[in-house]
Structure 1
Amino acid sequence: MSPDTITTIGSTLVQHGRLSDRIYVMHLSPADLPGILDDLDGLAERERYTKIFAKVPVSALSLFVARGYVVEARVPRFFRGREVGCFAAKFFDAERRQESADVSAVLAAVREKAGDARPAGLPPGWTCAPAAEDDADDLAALYDVVFATYPFPIADPGYLRETMTGDYCYFLVRTADGRLAAASSAEIYREDENVEMTDFAVHPDFRGQNLSTLLLSRMEEEMRAAGMKTAFTIARALSYPINATFARAGYACGGTLVNNTNICGGFESMNVWYRTLDE
């Protein structure tokens, strides 16, 4: 199945497609309100999508709630370090709205690790550095190994090269002999002054070495320097390691997006974690 499409409706950035059977409003342009709500409903009905979810400033939330949206997660200071951001969802299928797994057990377990940051270091000769276009083939191969499915075509080197020219910064951990051990990316929303810490992947040969923690710390340094005020992630709700990584790093959980994303071969719920970077 082909990856979902990224497009614009008016000035609003939207991802949609059959893979995750949804519409994702990645960046809402307030100038498109309220008409964008009709456009989203129309697209969902035409394509028979079962979910819309949108990152919405709290000042616009009432428009969405009036149209049947519910708030699944909240992030303080999400927009420009000032305004609360709400992850609002509208379901077109009752089954999709029902959580099929117990995500609370993972959250309870990782919350015991809150703030328990583990010092992350690299073995001699290893490196952690931003990626260049020449790294795209290795990076795509790593993502192909780690993810059976993914909402973005990150196993395509061409897609990675294209995003590198925009507001994506990829970071790589390489071994002393040059093998790609782990990777992640920072997806920067400059207008909103926030950044999504995402696309974490550790090669099976190198797991258990806190490489995701190291990558997260490095990305935070870079994003603070770039003026981003809030960092967040949308993490697989049933994955203990990635949730623990963010809990240990001092992130708070803002909520759970139910049956949100087709990743690793099936639909999964996702937890939203966040922390401020400018304090």
Structure 2
Amino acid sequence: MDSKDIIETFEGSIIQHGSYNDRIYLIKLAPEASSITPRNLIDLARNNNYSKIFAKVPECHSDIFSAAGFEAEARIPAFHAGKMTAVLMGFYLNAERAEEPDYGKMDEILKIAIEKQSIKSKCHLNNDFTLRICTEADAASMTNIYKTIFQSYPFPIHETTYILETMKNHVDYFGVEVNGRLVAVSSAEMDKQSSNAEMTDFATLPEWRGNGFAQCLLLQMEKAMKNKGIKTTYTIARAMSAGMNVTFSKTGYRFGGRLKNNTNISGNIESMNVWYKYLIG
């Protein structure tokens, strides 16, 4: 298996694809995309023997994907500039990729998470911990944390060069520090043009779990994004991770749907839950 998938331009759109996630991910559809783009993506997937296409498209373009056989799996309202809904769609090139043998367990986790929405999230860090934005000097420590936590990941966060490159461009990284050492990290990946941000890459070293770091990081990230004028935040969380789904639900995020067998994370292709929140109405 390749160590990572590639990100490139396809007919003016931005896609990620490769055998690592065994899929094509349409990250951003070109405004001038033609009606044959979905079929061309399917051809690309067949030529490379991928088993899924995952497309994130503005609702106004979703009909051309539906006509090509794509199915809506999740929705994020107010995704584009606080107005247009994003439809997250899946196309499966084999039946096995669309099967979810653990769907009962995933539904149970989701039910638990939604029941927690009435509990207001708070951050309780004692004076031993410092919550801060990460800098370029933290890149090596961050990659070490990600290597410890994730056997595999859909994007190359195990590489210091990737952390540095994204930090300079469109990603703000956050961390919890104790005695001068980072022990937990997360990131906010911004699409400033569309005024949204993905809250992602949460990782806490095993010996420091149970301190509520993810909740504290998320609340801090929201403040930072709101200050930058970001209107909508969202996450794509592992459907089998009760902790992360509860974290987002308690922080006021709404469930947007589940992406079946979507992402290579921690050594397996996993289904992912979509959660979203409006920061600025």
TM-score (norm 1): 0.97
Matches within 5 A, 1:114-133: 114-133=117-136
Aligned to 1:277: 279
Aligned residue among 174, 188, 193 for 1:171: 174
* 1:32 CA drift (Å): 2.0
Matches within 5 A, 1:20-99: 20-99=21-100
Q: Is the 8 A contact 2:52 2:92 kept in 1?
A: yes
Structure 1: runs of 5+ lacking an equivalent: none
3-state DSSP class of the match of 1:78? strand
* 1:34 CA drift (Å): 2.1
* 1:155 CA drift (Å): 1.0
* 1:138 CA drift (Å): 0.1
Alpha-carbon distance in structure 1 between the residues aligned to 2:269 and 2:22 = 9
Aligned residue among 241, 260, 268 for 2:270: 268
Q: Deviations over 1:64-114 (max 9, x none)?
A: 000000000011111111111110111101111111212101001111111
3-state DSSP class of the match of 2:20? coil
Structure 2: runs of 5+ lacking an equivalent: none
Aligned to 1:158: 161
3-state DSSP class of the match of 2:117? coil
CA RMSD of aligned residues (A): 1.1
Q: Deviations over 1:143-183 (max 9, x none)?
A: 000001101111111111111111011101101x1121110
Matches within 5 A, 1:164-243: 164-175=167-178, 177-243=179-245
Aligned to 2:249: 247
Alpha-carbon distance in structure 1 between the residues aligned to 2:88 and 2:40 = 18
* 1:56 CA drift (Å): 1.0
Q: After the TM superposition, which parts of structure 1 deviate over 4 Å for at least 4 consecutive aligned residues? A: none
Q: Is the 8 A contact 1:261 1:268 kept in 2?
A: yes
Matches within 5 A, 1:3-18: 3-18=4-19
Q: Which amino acid aligns with 1:271?
A: N
Q: Is the 8 A contact 2:80 2:194 kept in 1?
A: yes
Alpha-carbon distance in structure 2 between the residues aligned to 1:250 and 1:123 = 24
3-state DSSP class of the match of 2:74? strand
Alpha-carbon distance in structure 2 between the residues aligned to 1:55 and 1:191 = 16
| Percent of residue pairs bearing the same amino acid type | 41
Q: Deviations over 1:44-78 (max 9, x none)?
A: 01101111111111111110000000000011111
Q: Is the 8 A contact 2:39 2:68 kept in 1?
A: no
3-state DSSP class of the match of 1:33? coil
Q: Is the 8 A contact 2:123 2:212 kept in 1?
A: yes
Aligned residues: 278
Alpha-carbon distance in structure 2 between the residues aligned to 1:213 and 1:22 = 31
